[in-house]
Amino acid sequence: MRILVTGGAGFIGSNLVFSLLSGGHQVGIIDDLSTGSMANLHPAAWFRGLDITDPGLQDAVADFRPEVVVHLAAQSSITVSQRDPERDRLVNIEGTRAVARAAAVAGARRVLSASSAAVYGTPVSLPVGEADPKVPENPYGHSKLAAEQALADELRPVGVDFASLRFANVYGPRQDPHGEGGVVAIFCGRMAAGEAPVVFGEGTQTRDFIFVGDIVLALIEAADTDVTLALPGDDGSAYNISTGDETSVEMLIQHLRSPAGYFGPVEHAPAREGDVARSVLDPTKAQEVFGWHSRVSLEAGLARTAAWFAQNR
């Protein structure tokens, strides 16, 4: 297949690109390198350095002629979203609209767009299913939910298949240890440097941690499936991509100690206002519709991640 990846120089995108190329696919990348890295670019991939809101996007997508577009480019910092919600609207909503429109004009048969567990806000019950209430608690979550609608508005009328994949808490090699959203990367970075990991609150808050390799597999299987992903209904095109396992931050540190080789103290800071206490997503729909399920255990994923950070510190 000819697959175009927006954000292909980023954490998830670069892992996806390397896997696609090793599988014999032709891969294109569009990335403005604002958060992605030149070091993450595979030399065998077609590349265009471009912001997805740039007027030249449609021509760039047409030049590559993708069969499938995987849209990962986004403004993903919650801090930035709170400081500049207009930036979230422009990149996450209007950028998604522009990518969808360009994909349709270029003749793509399917568009897969990265969404987030942030669209749910504080869960009413666990695990969270796709049709459960969606009450985002920050501009980032609102923008990702609106981006799902923008994708549907652009592609359903013209008959291009699409899906919004709501990722749980993704971790793995190449994640930025200096960012705000990747707690595994932050812990691994500090542990690799012999520094104490910092836990906000008591560490009892839970998340659904999923290894980036499982995210990559979900994207590849969704791209390759013969079934229609854009099912009827408000959440018909939404899919939770998660393990379905709930892990506390305190347990995460215990699992990381041995592979990271860190047995020192843990520092605690005050709990962050608005931090969701518990979160775990139900991935059953992805299994039933296109056959995907997570394969990498938390222990195995953390070991691979800690090893990468130890080698690349």
> Would you give per-residue pLDDT tens digits along the chain (313 residues)?
999 999 999 999 999 999 999 999 999 999 999 999 999 999 999 999 999 999 999 999 999 999 999 999 998 877 777 887 788 889 999 999 999 999 999 999 999 999 999 999 999 999 999 999 999 998 999 999 999 999 999 999 999 999 999 999 999 999 988 765 689 999 999 999 999 999 999 999 999 999 999 999 999 999 999 999 999 999 999 999 999 999 999 999 999 999 999 999 999 999 987 788 999 999 999 999 999 999 999 999 999 999 999 998 7
Pull the structure tokens for residue 213: 């390799």
Under 8 Å between Cβ of 277 and 201: no
**pLDDT tens track for 18-64:** 999 999 999 999 999 999 999 999 999 999 999 999 999 999 999 99
Q: Architecture of domain 2-170+209-241 in CATH?
A: 3-Layer(aba) Sandwich (3.40)
Cα–Cα nearest to 40, from 70, 74, 5: 5
Q: How far apart are CA 137 and CA 119, in angstroms?
A: 8
| Domain locations along the chain | 2-170+209-241, 172-207+244-311
Convert the pLDDT of each residue in 118-159 to its tens digit. Answer: 999 999 999 999 999 999 998 999 999 999 999 999 999 999
Catalytic residues: 140
State how far the alpha carbon of 241 is from the alpha carbons of 73, 164, 199, 291, in Å: 17, 10, 25, 12
Nearest to 223 by CA among 270, 161, 170, 274: 161
- Options 3.90.25.10, 3.30.930.10, 3.40.50.700, 2.70.70.10; CATH of 172-207+244-311: 3.90.25.10
